[in-house]
Amino acid sequence: MNSIQNDTFLRTLKQQNTSYTPVWMMRQAGRYLPEYRNTRKNAGSFLELCKNNDFATEVTLQPLDRYPYLDASILFSDILTIPDAMGLGLYFVEGEGPKFERPLQDEKEIQKLDIPNVDEKLHYVFEAVRAIKKALNQRVPLIGFSGSPWTLATYMVEGKGGTNFLNIKKLVYSRPDLMSHILKINTETVTKYLASQIEAGVDAVMIFDSWGGALAHSEYERYSLNYMKVIISNLNLLGYEHIPKIIFTKGGGQWLEAQAKIGASAIGLDWQTDIAKARRIIGNNITLQGNLDPAILLSSPKAIVAAVKKVLDNYGYGEGHIFNLGHGITQFTPPENVQCMLETIRSYSQKFHIE
């Protein structure tokens, strides 16, 4: 098999020398791109965009074709494919986001929850991985991903996004046995899901713990981090030690020491975390990913250049930094501002590397 032409992202995950700081963006294929909006319109719905190989491949490659300074691609899919495969009935409401027809609302429904046949129910994801890998033709690595067990559980119990998490927190505090059942099922399913993505060809995997920061300080490790640790251990036991694994807890900057102990190759940082402090806490054995505030991309080129340089200055010299946003890029971002950010990263970051 031919080696990847631009492997800077993978080398950084392995703490190897590079000539510049690599970059990719969470939600880099998305509504801020006019070409994405056109494809989305042709697809007819967001789910059809995810479930159609041609559409998923097209939108995955769009940012790479527009921006030559991106160092990785990420599978175009959604974290909620797993609860959808479990029969909860995922659907999207324009302007309101994802919802479920059959959320987990009573003990009987929770007890019935079981691990789906991942290869059968989510075959379209793995087919998309194979199609994207072929279309990439080894240009850059492909990142696969899943939601964390806790984050998936929040949607499964709340029935939608954008809530105050009262239903799932009630379950945490009043019925930890039921909460543990959901999380164990999710953990086994995520393990199988990521393993199948790896088999289909992804070069790294990322676990998005979007709502881990909603947990109380004393509950984060028990209900979120420990299950991500199990997934990483499971994947290693299955023979995928060589595949880099990234975790990202939005709002999780206060738990960096604990995150550094679960075996991840990299830890994603949101924009509320001081990357210099994070590096001091974690050391140089684990790569850090982040952490520009996505909102800065709504401002002026001058402000963007200054903000990018500040992140790079704060991380400092040496390897182990993947530049990214502190969360997903907003749909209102002017595409030319992304170009400004990427050009600044490529030119300014070179002085921090010795290769």
Distance CA 64, CA 5 (A): 14
Task: Name the catalytic one among 78, 102, 130, 240.
Answer: 78
Catalytic residue among 7, 11, 20, 27: 27
- Distance from first CA to last CA of the chain, Å, rounded? 26
Which of 351, 250, 338 has the alpha carbon at shortest distance from 294? 338
Give, in order, the Cα–Cα distances in Å from 190 to each of 99, 152, 276, 291.
20, 10, 32, 25
Cα separation of 110 and 156, whole Å? Answer: 10
CB atoms under 10 Å from CB of 12, counted, come to 28
Strand ranges for 71-147 from DSSP E: 73-74, 90-93, 97-100, 142-147
Please enumerate in sequence order all residues whose Cβ is within 8 A of that of 225, keeping only pairs 6 or more positions apart, or say none.
212, 249, 255, 258, 259, 262
- What's the CA angle centered on 290, arms 287 and 296, to 5 degrees? 165
Is 31 annotated as catalytic?
yes
> Is 155 part of the annotated catalytic residue set?
yes
Angstrom distance (rounded) from CA 38 to CA 152? 29
Verify whether residue 40 is a known catalytic residue: yes
Q: Determine which one of 11, 20, 36, 40 is catalytic.
A: 40
Give the list of residues 6+ apart from residue 318 with CB closer than 8 angstroms, or none.
Answer: 284, 352, 353
Contact (CB, 8 A) for 137 and 147: no
Position 19: which residue type?
A: S
- Catalytic one of 20, 67, 155, 227: 155
Q: What whole-number distance in Å separates Cα of residue 237 and Cα of residue 231? A: 10
**CA angle, corner 328, sides to 307 and 151, nearest 5?**
135
- Sign of CA pseudo-dihedral 196, 197, 202, 205: negative
Active site residue 139: no
- Residue 293 known to be catalytic: no
Q: Using CA atoms, how far apart are residues 252 and 215, in angstroms rounded to an integer?
A: 10
> Would you state the structure tokens that stand for residue 275, as one six-digit string?
């990357």
| Residues noted as catalytic | 27, 31, 40, 78, 155
